[in-house]
Chain A
Amino acid sequence: MAAWLGWLIESNWTDPFLFAVYSIVKPLSGAAILVIMYGIISGGNFNTPLFPYIYLGNAFYIYVGAVMTGVSWAVVDDREHYKTLKYMYIAPIYIPVYLLGRGVARFITGSIAVFITIMAGVLFLKVPLHFADINWGLFLVTLILGVVMLALLGLLLAGITLTVARHEGFIGEATAGALYIFSGAVFPLDVLPAWIRPVGYFMPTTYWLELLRRSLVGNVAQAFPTLANFSNLQILGILLGLSVFFGTVSIWVFRYCDRLARERGLIDHTTNY
Chain B
Amino acid sequence: MPHSLAIETHELGRIYKLRGSKKETRKELVALQDVNLTVERGELFGLLGPNGAGKTTLIKVLTTLLSPTSGWARVAGADVHADPESVRPRINMVSGGESSGYGLLTVRENLWMFSQFYGAPSKEANERIEALLEMVGMKDRMHTKSSDLSTGLRQKMNIVRGFLTDPEVLFLDEPTLGLDVGASRDVRKFIIEWLKADKERTLLLTTHYMVEADELCDRVAIINKGRVLACDTPSALKQRLQKDVTFEIETSPLNGLTMQMMEEQPEVKKAALTEIEGGARWKLSLVEESALARVFNLFAQKDVKVMNLNKRQPTLEDVFVELVGRSMAEEESNERSE
Interface residues in chain A, defined as those with a beta carbon under 8 Å from any beta carbon in chain B: 1, 5, 8-9, 12-15, 82-84, 86-93, 259, 262-265, 267-268
| Apart from A82-B101, A90-B88, A92-B117: 19 A-B pairs, beta carbons within 8 A | A1-B116, A5-B117, A8-B113, A12-B104, A12-B105, A13-B104, A82-B102, A82-B103, A84-B100, A87-B93, A91-B88, A91-B118, A92-B118, A92-B119, A93-B117, A259-B67, A267-B65, A267-B66, A268-B65
> Could you give, for residues 68-104 of chain B, a 1 whenever the CB lies within 8 Å of some chain A CB and a 0 otherwise?
0000000000000000010011011101001111111
> What are 18 A-B contacts defined by CB distance under 8 Å?
A9-B105, A9-B113, A12-B104, A15-B104, A82-B100, A82-B101, A82-B103, A84-B101, A86-B95, A88-B117, A90-B64, A90-B92, A92-B85, A92-B88, A259-B67, A262-B65, A265-B60, A268-B65
CB proximity of B55 to chain A, nearest CB, Å: 14
B282 in contact (CB, < 8 A) = no
**A13–B91 alpha-carbon span in the complex (Å):** 29
Are A89 and B101 CB-contacts (below 8 A) given A5-B116, A265-B60, A268-B60? no
Known contacts A86-B65, A262-B67, A265-B16: does B113 contact A91 (CB below 8 Å)?
Answer: no
Q: Which residues of B contact A92 (CB under 8 A)?
A: 85, 88-89, 117-119
B109 cross-chain contacts in A, Cβ below 8 A: 8
Tell me which residues across on chain A come within 8 A of B100, comparing CB atoms.
Answer: 82-84, 87
* Residue B161 interfacial (CB < 8 Å): yes
- Tell me if B102 and A9 are in contact (CB < 8 A): yes
B114 at the interface (CB under 8 A from A): yes
List A contacts of B67 (CB < 8 A). Answer: 259, 262-263
**Are the CB atoms of A90 and B63 closer together than 8 Å?**
yes
B102–A90 contact, CB under 8 A? no
**CB-nearest residue of chain B to A11:** B104
In the complex, what's the smallest C-beta–C-beta distance from A152 to chain B, in angstroms? 22
CA distance A267 to B88 in the complex (A): 15
For the complex, give the distance between the alpha carbons of A15 and B147 in Å. 13
Shortest distance from the beta carbon of A87 to any chain B beta carbon, whole Å: 7
10 tightest A-B CB contacts, nearest first: A83-B100, A92-B89, A91-B117, A12-B104, A92-B88, A263-B67, A265-B66, A262-B67, A93-B117, A90-B63
User: Given A8-B109, A8-B113, do A90 and B66 touch, yes or no (CB 8 Å)?
Assistant: no
